[in-house]
Amino acid sequence: MGAVTSSDYWDADTAARYDESSAFMFAPDVLDPAVDLLADLAGDGAALELAIGTGRVAIPLAERGVPVSGIELSQPMADRLRAKRDDVPVTVGDMATTVVPGRFALVYLVWNSLGNLRTQDEQVACFANAARHLRPGGRFVVELGIPGIRRFPPGQAAVPFHVGRRHVGIDTYDMATQQGTSHHYRHHPDGTVTHGTSNFRFVWPAELDLMARLAGMTLERRVADWTGTPFDGDSESHVSTWRT
Ligand SMILES: C[S@@+](CC[C@H](N)C(=O)[O-])C[C@H]1O[C@@H](n2cnc3c(N)ncnc32)[C@H](O)[C@@H]1O
């Protein structure tokens, strides 16, 4: 698997199911505003996606004419992307440390994937790595959830974040260490139920701004989502742009 990292490894089974189990994130009303904004920010330059996965965002961005490259920890996820398109080069490695050729107008890291780096040091290194790949004036865009601590009344250990017929998701948070785990219970068409977990480090926007500053970048814009909804105290996510 290459790089030593705190991240969970996305195995071949997970990669094989990814596009189907993430179908709601491929829906045009979710994806199009993200691709619109990223294409706009890339302008006539190239883009680098950290944790590119199977190319959910990178492929439509490439179809807009933006040259896109990627870094991805999981070989099976990268293989899925390569099977779909061969003109989106992917380097398999840790997004905190892997260096790829080129200088980019835009580096981006979406759908909460920064949280896959489960130590502060690695998240700081990831910001430095993003900055290293940017040309002067280039931008780093991160889409990340706001830690859901308001959902946890005192004494409560777990809260549901999704309750549906085919999927129940429950989060547990350790407030002292900023470690979270999402537990997914999936009800399959053959009647079986499977349980899987994903681990993450949750982080406030202000901590990210310091990471950006350490990497020589400053905050240009923070909104709640890809459509530009203003960010406020009730926002459950943010899309933040820092500039070199
Ligand atoms: C939720 S998926 C997002 C994939 C894609 N960006 C998307 O929006 O569909 C998270 C991805 O992060 C990758 N990942 C996790 N830790 C990583 C790391 N340290 N470096 C690079 N990729 C990582 C996983 O293998 C997985 O492909």
| Cross-strand pairs, 71 | 50, 91
Q: Domain for residue 228, yes or no?
A: yes
Cα–Cα distance for residue pair 94/82, rounded to 1 Å? 18
Question: Nearest residue CA, atom 12 of ligand 1?
Answer: 51
Q: Domain for residue 166, yes or no?
A: yes
Residue 179 domain boundaries: 149-197
Question: Nearest residue CA, atom 9 of ligand 1?
Answer: 56
- 143-165 pLDDT per residue, tens: 999 999 989 988 898 999 999 99
Q: Which atom of ligand 1 is nearest to the CA of 56?
A: 9
Q: Domain for residue 2, yes or no?
A: no
What's the total number of domains in the chain? Answer: 2
Q: Domain for residue 133, yes or no?
A: yes
Cα–Cα distance for residue pair 103/223, rounded to 1 Å? 26
Q: Domain for residue 121, yes or no?
A: yes
- 81-120 pLDDT per residue, tens: 999 999 999 999 999 999 999 999 999 999 999 999 999 9
Question: Nearest residue CA, atom 18 of ligand 1?
Answer: 94
3 pLDDT more than 70: no
* Phi/psi at 125 (5° precision): -65, -35
User: Ligand 1 centre and the CA of 50: distance in Å?
Assistant: 7
Q: What is the pLDDT of residue 21?
A: 86
User: Ligand 1 centre and the CA of 210: distance in Å?
Assistant: 23
User: Ligand 1 centre and the CA of 51: distance in Å?
Assistant: 4
- Cβ of 123 below 6 Å from ligand 1: no
Q: What is the pLDDT of residue 157?
A: 87
Q: What is the pLDDT of residue 4?
A: 80
58 pLDDT more than 60: yes
Q: Which atom of ligand 1 is nearest to the CA of 117?
A: 19
If asked whether residues 153 and 207 sit together in one domain, one would say: no
Q: Are strands 167-174 and 179-187 parallel, antiparallel or unpaired?
A: antiparallel
Predicted TM-score (pTM) of the model is 0.96
Burial class (CB in 10 A: 0-12, 13-18, 19+), 220: middle
Cα–Cα distance for residue pair 26/55, rounded to 1 Å? 10
Q: What is the pLDDT of residue 1?
A: 42
User: Ligand 1 centre and the CA of 192: distance in Å?
Assistant: 27
Q: Which atom of ligand 1 is nearest to the CA of 111?
A: 8
pLDDT band at residue 15 under the 50/70/90 scheme? very high
Q: Domain for residue 4, yes or no?
A: no
SS3 242: strand
